[in-house]
Structure formats: structure tokens, C-alpha cells
Amino acid sequence: MNEDDKTCPSARAAPGAILLGIKGADGRIKHMRTPMVVDDNFVEAASAHGTPEARMRFASPCQTKGCAQWTGTRCGVIDNVLKHLTVARTPQRDTLPACAIRASCRWFDQTGETACFACELVVTDQSAIAAE
């Protein structure tokens, strides 16, 4: 893998994307342990129950300058999430959450473990900003 071939962990639901996690009853994302690539049927079925990105997180190749969230050098989404998240609200854990894309994750590459601890609070359909 090219060093620049990073994966966006807050992508749109589209055929070929990876289902990264599903929002639990507590509002937090539960990460999948193994990657599952979604197809047209999945996206269609998920869309029949509302915006998939409000209930699930998807991953796909980072588009860098092809994405409005790209600052020119990095992804602005996780920077904004961490800026708005107080230390007191960041989930405290002894271990990182299981994650199927960590090896190529853009946010992990930029911010390391801090991104992973905040990741479960991010819902893509809320303009990619963590819950209030």
C-alpha cells in the first residue's frame, strides 16, 4: 500500500464501501471486528430505513483534495471532533476499540490513539462532528 493510500473512516454509504461500525442504543458507534464490503442491495435496504450515515459508519479510500474536509495537508474532520470534545467526554479505555481499518485509517495516521478514543462518538450524518 502506498503511504498516501489512506482510508476515510467517515465515508458515504455506497457500493464498495466498508461497513465500519453501527450506532448502538447508547448512541456510540460499535466498530466491526472484520471488514464487510457493502453492495447495492445493502445500501438500498439501509436507505429504506433512513439515512444510513445516521446509523452506521462507512469507510472508503480517502479522497484528499477531492473532499471538502481536506485542509490541503490533512483531514479536518478529526481535528474538529477533537477540538469540540472536552477531555472529560472522551471515552476512557485501557485498550483501543477493535477496528478493521486501523492500518490505513487517515484519522489514526494523523492523530494516533486519541482519534480512536473519540471515534465512537462520530456520526457521519451530523456533519461529521461529534455529538454535542
User: Under the rule (CB under 6 A), what is the footprint of ligand SF4?
Assistant: 9, 20, 31, 97, 99, 101-102, 105, 107-108, 115-116, 119
Q: Which is nearer to ligand SF4, 115 or 128 (CB)?
A: 115
11, β-bridge pairs: 58
CB of 28 to ligand SF4, least distance (A): 12
Q: Which residue has the cell 500500500?
A: 1
Phi-psi region at 13: left, alpha or beta (left = phi > 0; alpha = psi -120 to 50)? beta
CB of 48 to ligand SF4, least distance (A): 26
Largest distance between two CA atoms of the chain: 40
CB of 121 to ligand SF4, least distance (A): 10
